[in-house]
Every structure is written in C-alpha cells, then in structure tokens.
Amino acid sequence: MQSNVLIVGLGNMGSALARGLIAAKFDVKGNLQVFDSHPDKVSSFKDIAVNDLKAAMEPHAVVLCVKPHDLSGVAEDLSGVISNQTVVISILAGVSLHTLEQKFHHKGPIVRAMPNIAATVGCAATAMCHNESSSSKDKELAWQIFEAVGEASWTKESLLDTVTGLSGSGPAYIYMVIEALTDGGVKMGLPRELSAKLASQTVLGAATLVKKSGIHPAILKDQVSTPAGTTISALHELESRGLRSMFVNAVEVATERSGYLGRQEGQK
C-alpha cells in the first residue's frame, strides 16, 4: 500500500487502525500519519504524529475517527488539506454521506464505514458504503485500510443502521453470552477462572468452525445434538425461553435506535 493515509482521532478505533496498518507492513515512515488533540493519545505514535492538521502531507485518504460532535471543528481544521482527489473515510455513526459532503464541501470520494470494537485485536467486522464520486481505486484503498484490522465488506448506505445493530453492537451481545455461560459453569461447580476460559474458547471455536467450514450454523447445531442427549435438552430450554427471538429483537431495536440517532445528528 503506497497511498498517504491520515488518521484523525486516536480513540480505540483510530489507534486500532493505526496499529493494524503498521502490522500490515504499511510504510509508516512516509505514508501514514496520525493526529489527535490530546497529547497522551499521541504518545504511542510519536514517529508518525502531526501536531497540526495543516502541516500534514496531502493525503490520499483521511480516516475520521472522532466523535460526531467534533465533526464541524475537524472539517474546518482540514480545510485546504483535503483535495477533491482525497478519499474522506468516516466511522462516525449516524453521519450520512450527504452530511459529510456538506461539512467538508467535498466533491470527491467519500466512504462511510462501520467497524466494531474487535478491531483492537485485528478481528473487526466492517461494512462500508460509498458515494458516486468513489472510483474503484478509492474503494480498494478504503477496503485495504479496514482489512488491516479484520474483514471488510461493501453494502448500501440504507443498511448501515442494520450493520450497527448487528455487528456494531453485536460484541456486547456475545459478551453477555460468555458471561452467562461462565456463571452457568460456576453454578454447577466449576472454578470461575476455568469456567470463563472454557466459555470464551467455546464461543471462539464455534464461530471459527462456522467461518472455516462454510456450513450453516443450523447444520452444525444438529451435528452436536445427539438423540436424547444433553445438547438437545439444553437447546429445548433455550428455545422455550425465547433465545432466538431475543437476539432478533436486539438487532431490531439497536437498528431503530441507530436510525433515530442518525436523524437527530442530521438535524444539527
């Protein structure tokens, strides 16, 4: 990857993207720059940090990892830094392509991305959309950036709220599953440390098997369920408690909330 990339904002996601690009053997001495207004967040990236956005080399891509309420200030600071050839990439939840075009007075390529917290360990699930000014080269650059911290896919903007409800918020749902499985093991006599280790590895292993085998989860579930066995008894209990409906409903309400917050942001 030979493009100049500027990451603005070094919170969890911005830092994860910077580390991911470095690990992906991105040429950090000439092609990657980072900026954050808080000096403590820059300390881990001193060699590639810029103190003033105006001093940044003209980037091929600017990745916005700031809070939505900071967007106007960042847009003003980047005035003159971004050209119409620069790809503006935003991970700001609820901020539309149209709003980004207006804030930056940008007639060039814009990409919205929704990664999740697993970017911090290189396992993010990211979905992206782009405006009509984005070329195949622009899209490839955005895809490479997010592939450096996990897996990235393209979708349409109207589905990004659903992406937020599923994979954006999804890690929190799975954390609850791991916690509940751990408590179940403890209730039945396992030491908590061992129970937590077994629960987290079970979730990791199950997900890995789905991805690597390409087999539908329902088929894998049936393969584990022997007649009159322990698993089918547990599955019956989970179904009777509405586990499947609870997860479907969780994605639905998170999607609706994301849409609401996006509309509120758009009115500002």
- Is residue 161 within 8 A of residue 258, CB to CB? The reply is yes
In this structure, which amino acid lies at residue 85?
Answer: Q
Residue 253 backbone phi and psi in degrees, to 5 = -70, -35
Domain 168-260: homologous superfamily in CATH: ProC C-terminal domain-like (1.10.3730.10)
Alpha-carbon distance of 199 to 218, in angstroms, equals: 20
Neighbours of 241 (CB within 10 A): 10
pLDDT surpassing 80 at residue 25: no
pLDDT surpassing 70 at residue 29: no
SS3 134: coil
Question: How high is the pLDDT of residue 185?
Answer: 98
Alpha-carbon distance of 242 to 129, in angstroms, equals: 34
Q: Can you read off the two tokens belonging to residue 184?
A: 């179940």
Band of pLDDT at residue 129, cut at 50, 70 and 90? very high
The pTM for the full model equals: 0.90
CATH 3.40.50.720 given to domain 5-160? yes
pLDDT digits (tens, 9 = 90+) for 39-80: 889 888 988 899 888 878 888 999 999 998 899 999 999 988
Task: Please enumerate in sequence order all residues whose Cβ is within 8 A of that of 101, keeping only pairs 6 or more positions apart, or say none.
Answer: 107, 110, 131
Band of pLDDT at residue 266, cut at 50, 70 and 90? low
Helix (H) or strand (E) holding 178: helix 170-187
Alpha-carbon distance of 130 to 153, in angstroms, equals: 12
Enter the DSSP assignment of 109: -
- Asked if domains 5-160 and 168-260 share a fold, the reply is no
Q: Can you read off the two tokens belonging to residue 57?
A: 């080399």
Percent of the chain topping pLDDT 70: 96
pLDDT digits (tens, 9 = 90+) for 220-237: 999 999 999 999 999 999
For the chain, the structural domain boundaries read: 5-160, 168-260
SS3 65: coil
